[in-house]
């Protein structure tokens, strides 16, 4: 039997025929990158290939790297293997990676969601024989409401807080969730302030999406001017001295994990909005079906449970060990990058270093 087109080894997802890795977690020569989140685009590769919209994002996160940008559907061939990027709908610049060799087609999803969020280019079904999928929310307990409904709830919450004389502090990741929220917040309610980490990332992607104006929270920002307004902050800002400036405030988190009452209570957040950049249960199942694949490999999330269910449904499904952060990821205040914890004014002094844990 021939070696599989893509194999999971200690460095990442490896295409031996082409000699390249997809989203590797250890430094390699050539890396094809699905999107800009830290667990998928890591430091230390010699060469990066990714979608055009992701280039400024990973340059911002990783500094001076050698990176080639590609368009959607643009094919490039490495040693006879054809690669192309296709929209994954997860965050801006996020792609599925299609790999074709001798008539065999594999698709690696990275992270993805099926709903059009108005920011990321919407997910497209890519036909394949083997589908390597995430399943962060691969449980029937996860069912997302239409985005518009959640957005309405968020704006109503902001409006109510404003009437009560409180500042609204809304937590979401600085890359992806923050811009999605920003895009849909109603600027007629009040001003939108941002934590430095979010402002920096938003500046990077502003040329690509139209979004309401934002004001960076700095040392000079006065407590009084924040009252009744909205502050977007990364989850890691919760419980830090930074947030004291917003008193009196109400906090909320926008995440798929907010579907669980316990997850919200544990984080001591007032309000939870169920909004995710990943597929829900039905989203995963319908995508898998639409690809027409025979084999499924589950990379991160509730992999054991999800693949068992797929097997019962007649798929040839298995799990693979990766270092993507499905199960833990968003649930706790993981630190995405140095951006998340260091206020802007102090950031200039800090050089981004390789993650020691990934040596």
Residues that bind other proteins (CB under 8 A): 139-143, 145, 250-251, 257, 259-266, 268-271, 302, 304-305, 308-309, 312, 327-328, 331-332
Nearest approach, Cβ of residue 55 and other proteins (Å): 31
Nearest approach, Cβ of residue 164 and other proteins (Å): 9
Residue closer to other proteins (CB basis): 1 or 268: 268
Nearest approach, Cβ of residue 272 and other proteins (Å): 8
Nearest approach, Cβ of residue 228 and other proteins (Å): 17
The C-alpha atoms of residue 167 and residue 162 are separated, in whole angstroms, by 7
Residues 329 and 340 sit within 8 Å (Cβ to Cβ): no
Residue closer to other proteins (CB basis): 54 or 323: 323
Residue 137 per-residue DSSP state:
T
Nearest approach, Cβ of residue 221 and other proteins (Å): 24
Query: What are the residues whose beta carbons fall under 8 Å from the beta carbon of 95, sequence distance 6 or more?
Result: 34, 35, 50, 51, 54, 72, 85, 86, 87, 88, 110
Q: Give the DSSP H or E segment for 87.
A: strand 81-87
Q: Give the length of the chain.
A: 359
Angle (deg, nearest 10), helices 177-184 and 147-163 = 70
Smallest Cα–Cα separation from 232: which of 157, 169, 185, 190? 169
Query: Does residue 103 come out as left (phi exceeding 0), alpha (psi in the -120 to 50 range) or beta?
Result: left
Residues 39 and 57 sit within 8 Å (Cβ to Cβ): no
* 3-state SS, residue 52: helix
Residue closer to other proteins (CB basis): 126 or 231: 231
Nearest approach, Cβ of residue 315 and other proteins (Å): 15
Residue closer to other proteins (CB basis): 77 or 328: 328
Residue closer to other proteins (CB basis): 144 or 193: 144
Residue closer to other proteins (CB basis): 186 or 270: 270
Residue closer to other proteins (CB basis): 3 or 141: 141
Nearest approach, Cβ of residue 128 and other proteins (Å): 25
In the chain, how long is the greatest CA-to-CA distance? 69
Q: Give the DSSP H or E segment for 119.
A: none
């Amino acid at each position: 039997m021939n070696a599989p087109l893509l194999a999971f080894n200690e460095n990442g997802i490896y295409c031996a025929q082409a000699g390249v890795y997809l989203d590797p977690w250890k430094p390699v020569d050539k890396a094809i990158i699905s999107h800009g989140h830290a667990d998928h685009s890591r430091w230390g590769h010699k060469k990066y290939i990714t979608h055009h919209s992701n280039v400024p994002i990973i340059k911002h996160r990783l500094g001076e790297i050698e990176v080639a940008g590609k368009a959607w559907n643009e094919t490039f061939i490495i040693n006879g293997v054809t690669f192309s990027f296709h929209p994954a709908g997860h965050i801006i610049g996020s792609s599925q990676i299609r790999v074709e060799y001798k008539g065999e087609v594999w698709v690696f999803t990275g992270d993805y969601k099926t709903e059009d969020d108005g920011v990321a280019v919407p997910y497209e079904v890519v036909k394949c024989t083997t589908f390597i999928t995430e399943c962060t929310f691969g449980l029937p307990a996860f069912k997302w409401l239409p985005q518009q409904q959640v957005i309405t709830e968020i704006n109503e919450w902001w409006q109510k807080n404003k009437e009560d004389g409180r500042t609204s502090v809304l937590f979401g990741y600085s890359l992806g969730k923050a811009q999605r929220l920003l895009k849909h917040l109603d600027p007629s309610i009040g001003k939108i302030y941002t934590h430095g980490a979010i402002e920096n990332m938003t500046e990077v992607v502003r040329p690509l999406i139209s979004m309401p104006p934002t004001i960076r929270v700095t040392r000079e920002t006065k407590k009084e001017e924040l009252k009744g307004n909205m502050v977007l902050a990364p989850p890691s800002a919760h419980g830090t001295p930074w947030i004291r400036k917003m008193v009196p405030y109400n906090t909320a988190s926008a995440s798929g994990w907010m579907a669980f009452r316990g997850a919200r209570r544990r984080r001591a957040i007032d309000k939870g909005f169920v909004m995710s950049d990943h597929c829900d249960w039905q989203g995963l199942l319908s995508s898998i079906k639409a690809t027409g694949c025979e084999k499924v490999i589950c990379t991160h999330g509730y992999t054991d449970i999800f693949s068992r269910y797929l097997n019962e449904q007649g798929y040839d499904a298995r799990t693979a060990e990766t270092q993507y952060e499905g199960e833990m990821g968003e649930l706790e205040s993981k630190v995405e990058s140095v951006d998340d914890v260091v206020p802007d004014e102090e950031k200039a002094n800090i050089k981004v270093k390789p993650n020691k844990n990934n040596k």
